[in-house]
Amino acid sequence: MKFFSYIVLPKEISDFERGYLRRVNRIALAFFALHIPVYTAIAWFNDTRPALAFGLTLLVFLGPLVASRALQNPRSVSLVFGITAMAMGGLLVNFGRGPMTIEMHFYFFVLLALLSVFGNPLPIVVAAVTVTLHHAVFWALFPEAVFNYEASLGAVALHATFVALESAAACFVARSFFDNVIGLDRIVQARTLALDLRNLELSLILDNVGQGLLTVDRAANVPAERSAILGSWFGAPVPGETLFSWVSRVDASAGAWLEVSWDSAFDDILPVEVTLDQFPKRLRAGKRHLELEYRPIFSGKAVDKLLVVVSDVSDRVERDEAELLQRELLAAFQRVLSDRLGFLDFLDEAARLVAAVSNSTLTHVERLRALHTLKGNLAIFGIGGLAKHCHDLESAVHENDEALDPATCAELERLWQAFTGRLARILEASPDGVLNIARSEYDALRVALRDGKLDNMQVLSRLDRWLWEPVEKRLQQMGDQAKGLAKRLGKGEVEVQIAAANVRVTGKRWAPFWSAMVHIIRNSVDHAFENEAERQKGAGTKTPKLELSAEERDGAVVIIVRDNGRGIDWEAVRSRAESLGLAARTRADLEQALFADGLSTKREVSDVSGRGVGMAAVLRECQALGGRITIESSSAGTMFRFTIPDRPTVRPSSASSSPLRTGVFDRA
Amino acid sequence: MGKKVIVIDDSQTVRQQVGRALSEAGFEMIEAVDGKDGLIAIRNTADLAMAICDVNMPGMNGLDMLEALSSSGSKLPVLMLTTEGQSELIARAKKWGAKGWIVKPFKPEMLVAAVKKLTAA
């Protein structure tokens, strides 16, 4: 019965309703208590037995008084008030009898309306029923108590109609009050519960997602709703801590950058995509690499909050770094296999350059040049990671001169050490523990043994030789240098022929000599061969050729460098020598002069030659090995022959104190 | 003709990059090589819409130029170019009224969007 469930409220009384009804019931009690003196006064003024008025009013008042003490259910107390109200109405009509009897009836209608304050249709219904019964009974028994004139049935019916209408309206108001005000509390509770549930689900998501999510407003306080994982990355935030100070715990510069840029995302001066693009994107949290993304959350047109997404990309970064290292190592390995000597030379030079960069006694310009060269060399040899580090360092120095501070240099050295450390294994992979022997060497020994041509000592000596360094590699290096140089100087393609005949020499002793030989190569390529311009002028069309050979003769090793260029210009040598105050009479003089410090027939000093220092180094190293130089030169070409004794019995240290110029040069 | 924008940077590469990005977007470019140069150019150029200025420059740097500009009461919008991690410098730039900043190396589309917005008023 929908009518029934409308009039009668659902059983459950919420705390809100209880509290409300307690208040209202108390007010109602006070209201009716006031009736006692008021009715007594009215009766006294009206001369309608005030004592009786006092007594009856008090009696009626006792009803709700007792009810409010005795009844537990506050709604029941409200019901009693409904009856009380009507009873009071009757009393007023009675004791207010006189010229305004009709007007006294207004009380009923006022109270009927007021009863809706209980938020309950039932007191109103009860009141309406009460008043109807009251009227029925009194009209039947004491008509003059109700009406002060002969009331027709129509008049009564009219009264009843008004009562009914008003009761219905009041019930509507009361029920609406219950549903929407008292009931509101229940609705709010239900909604809050639903919200809590949703927050719980959200927390579950936030805490189980691998990324750190949080929404932050302009004030940048760390919100309570955030992914749990952020706590493990940054530590638990202090209440009221800003995002900046939280981030600064692990990465101070990123935190500072975030703080200084933060407002710009909310102020609409630059487009928000631009401002967010300037925010820090990477963080270091201890060993972790964290990546940050920002998304604006709008409220209307303005940015209200930022969604910050923090991701742990350590794995990816590690993988990228490992891949880079692998590639470097691979490049190094390839080099070591194909050109071990060249690679070792590169390592030596690079180590020197690293030291130069850190060397604060050098000028800033010199250190920068060392850095630049180092970068270039590293790039050539495929050491990408270190090359990039140098490149970044160069850029930093370009922006800010202070960048070459001790800490940065120490970092560079550390990285270099790490690199050479990794290389140690590679270098061992083609170690000196493994011998490289040409097939022809092996065959030669075998045949000699088979034919009984060698005694034990000779066999031993041959085997020992296999420990020595093959000259062929060095000659190849020189050939490569020649080719590269020729290209750079515009001399065209140089044909290089190498004939090394499995000659081997003791490694360490000869190293400085090979270093110096580069000057002979440079000289040949630079002086002997024509460049493009000269070739066009002259008629010479012969292909530049360079022969590099090594042979063993009479217990000595002979290295020959022969080119088919235009030959040494002895006249130029003579005039240069004379201007330097050197002896320039005989051919021998001139040959000596050729190797003197400071001599160069080149007018300009180029990066390549012309300084006059290189040839002197050649002479020095050849002497150091106890060797002699022979020069042959004509318009058909130039030949340098280096005859160097290289038996194990020769003690290297004595060579440096060998007699100076005499005896070094042989006439061909 | 488009709106005039001045770029102040000691690196020719940067001036070129900025110039190219903005001229393609229809702006007319003026260049200056340091702060002092920039101030003179700003004073002598009529209808300048905004300035783009590097923070680190030899001679008078970007911050000093900004200070000089704002002390002289100029309302010219200035956008700073900076490298990563220079928070103290940016804080000072903010104090002296820079409208914003962009970190080098910059993305052309970001620069164009910023300039368009700052010159739209």
Mark yes or no for CB contact A274/B101 under 8 Å.
no
More confident residue, A615 or A632: A632
The pair of three-digit structure tokens given for residue A277, joined into one six-digit string? 């693009």
Q: What are the C-alpha distances in Å from A327 to residues A310, A346, A385, A387, A463?
A: 30, 18, 9, 13, 38
Does residue B71 belong to the interface with chain A, where contact is any CB pair within 8 Å?
no
What is the mean predicted confidence (pLDDT) over A332-361?
A: 83
In this predicted structure, the answer to whether residue A536 has a pLDDT above a threshold of 80 is no
Q: What pLDDT is stored for residue A655 in this prediction?
A: 40
Mark yes or no for CB contact B117/A270 under 8 Å.
yes
pLDDT in tens, B70-93: 998 889 999 999 887 788 889 999
More confident residue, A526 or A606: A526
Pick the residue of B82, B84, B107 with the most A CBs within 10 A to test the interface with A by mutation: B84
Mark yes or no for CB contact B85/A257 under 8 Å.
yes
Count CB-CB contacts under 10 A for residue B31.
Answer: 16
How far off is chain B from A259, nearest CA to CA, in Å? 9
Q: What CA–CA distance (Å, rounded) separates A293 from B102?
A: 17
Which range of A290-294, A471-475, B101-105 scores highest in mean pLDDT? It is A290-294
What is the mean predicted confidence (pLDDT) over A176-190?
A: 86
Which residues from B are below 8 Å from A274, CB to CB? 100, 102, 110, 113-114, 117
Does residue B97 belong to the interface with chain A, where contact is any CB pair within 8 Å?
no
Band of residue A339 on the pLDDT scale cut at 50, 70, 90: confident
pLDDT in tens, A460-506: 888 888 888 888 888 988 888 888 778 777 787 888 999 988 888 88
Band of residue A433 on the pLDDT scale cut at 50, 70, 90: low
The pair of three-digit structure tokens given for residue B116, joined into one six-digit string? 């368009």
Report yes or no: B83 and B103 within 8 Å, Cβ to Cβ: yes
pTM above 0.90, yes or no: no
Q: What CA–CA distance (Å, rounded) separates A265 from A272?
A: 6
Mark yes or no for CB contact B114/A270 under 8 Å.
yes
Q: What CA–CA distance (Å, rounded) separates A394 from A368?
A: 8
Q: Which residues of A81-99 are buried (b: 16+ CB within 10 A; e: fewer)?
A: bbbbbbbbbbbbbbbbbee
Q: What CA–CA distance (Å, rounded) separates A502 from A662?
A: 31
Q: What pLDDT is stored for residue A606 in this prediction?
A: 45
Q: What are the C-alpha distances in Å from A412 to residues A58, A250, A398, A415, A416?
A: 103, 24, 17, 5, 6
Residues paired with residue A638 on neighbouring β-strands, in sequence order: A563, A633
Residue with tokens 């140069």: B37
The pair of three-digit structure tokens given for residue A404, joined into one six-digit string? 């070459």
The pair of three-digit structure tokens given for residue B86, joined into one six-digit string? 């220079």
One DSSP character per residue, A442-488 reads HHHHHHHHHTT---HHHHHHHHHHTTSEEHHHHHHHHHHHHHHHHHH
Q: Which amino acid is at A506?
A: T
What is the mean predicted confidence (pLDDT) over A334-361?
A: 83
More confident residue, A658 or A388: A388
One DSSP character per residue, B18-72 reads HHHHHHHTTPEEEEESSHHHHHHHHHH-TTEEEEEEES--SSS-HHHHHHHHHHT
Nearest by CB to A274, from B84, B88, B113: name it: B113
Q: How many helices (H) and strands (E) does chain A have?
A: 27, 12
Q: Beta strand A212-217 with A302-312: parallel, antiparallel or unpaired? A: antiparallel
What is the mean predicted confidence (pLDDT) over B24-37?
A: 91
Q: Beta strand A628-634 with A637-645: parallel, antiparallel or unpaired? A: antiparallel
Give Cβ neighbours of residue A573 (< 8 Å, ≥ 6 apart).
A584, A590, A593, A594, A599, A601
Which residues from B are below 8 Å from A264, CB to CB? 100
In this predicted structure, the answer to whether residue A603 has a pLDDT above a threshold of 90 is no
Nearest by CB to A277, from B56, B84, B110: name it: B110
Q: What CA–CA distance (Å, rounded) separates A666 from A614?
A: 21
Average model confidence (pLDDT) for chain B? Answer: 90
Band of residue A396 on the pLDDT scale cut at 50, 70, 90: confident
Residues paired with residue A212 on neighbouring β-strands, in sequence order: A310
What is the mean predicted confidence (pLDDT) over A218-232?
A: 90
Q: What pLDDT is stored for residue A654 in this prediction?
A: 37
Which residues from B are below 8 Å from A261, CB to CB? 90, 101
Nearest by CB to A274, from B91, B94, B114: name it: B114
Q: Is A153 exposed, middle or buried (0-12, 13-18, 19+ CB in 10 A)?
A: exposed
pLDDT in tens, A641-664: 999 987 654 333 334 333 333 344
ipTM: 0.89
What is the mean predicted confidence (pLDDT) over B2-15?
A: 89
Which residues from A are below 8 Å from B102, CB to CB? 274, 278
Q: What pLDDT is stored for residue A541 in this prediction?
A: 65
In this predicted structure, the answer to whether residue A538 has a pLDDT above a threshold of 70 is no
Q: What CA–CA distance (Å, rounded) separates A11 from A208?
A: 43
pLDDT in tens, B47-62: 899 999 998 888 888 8
Residues paired with residue B53 on neighbouring β-strands, in sequence order: B8, B80
Q: How is residue A222 annotated by DSSP?
A: P
Average model confidence (pLDDT) for chain A? Answer: 83
Band of residue A312 on the pLDDT scale cut at 50, 70, 90: very high
Residues paired with residue B81 on neighbouring β-strands, in sequence order: B54, B102
Report yes or no: A505 and A559 within 8 Å, Cβ to Cβ: no
Report yes or no: B102 and B79 within 8 Å, Cβ to Cβ: yes
Nearest by CB to A269, from B56, B84, B99: name it: B99
More confident residue, A537 or A622: A622
Does residue B47 belong to the interface with chain A, where contact is any CB pair within 8 Å?
no
Q: Which amino acid is at B91?
A: A
Q: What CA–CA distance (Å, rounded) separates B33 from B60?
A: 10
Q: Which amino acid is at A278?
A: Q
pLDDT in tens, A41-67: 988 888 888 888 899 999 999 999 999
Which residues in A have their CB inside 8 Å of a CB on B?
253, 256-257, 259-261, 264, 269-271, 273-275, 277-278, 399-400
Report how many Cβ contacts below 8 Å link chain A to chain B. Answer: 47
Mark yes or no for CB contact A270/B94 under 8 Å.
no
Q: How is residue A179 annotated by DSSP?
A: I
pLDDT in tens, A235-247: 999 988 999 999 9
Q: Where does A8-105 have alpha helices with state H? A: 15-46, 50-70, 74-95, 101-104
In this predicted structure, the answer to whether residue A609 has a pLDDT above a threshold of 80 is no
Q: How many helices (H) and strands (E) does chain B have?
A: 5, 5
Return the residue of A nearest to B10 by Cα.
Answer: A399
In this predicted structure, the answer to whether residue A148 has a pLDDT above a threshold of 60 is no
**Backbone φ, ψ for residue A98 (5° rounding):** 155, -145
Q: What CA–CA distance (Å, rounded) separates B84 from A251?
A: 14
Mark yes or no for CB contact B102/A278 under 8 Å.
yes
Mark yes or no for CB contact A274/B110 under 8 Å.
yes
In this predicted structure, the answer to whether residue A549 has a pLDDT above a threshold of 70 is yes
In this predicted structure, the answer to whether residue A576 has a pLDDT above a threshold of 90 is no
Mark yes or no for CB contact B90/A400 under 8 Å.
no
Report yes or no: B81 and B9 within 8 Å, Cβ to Cβ: yes
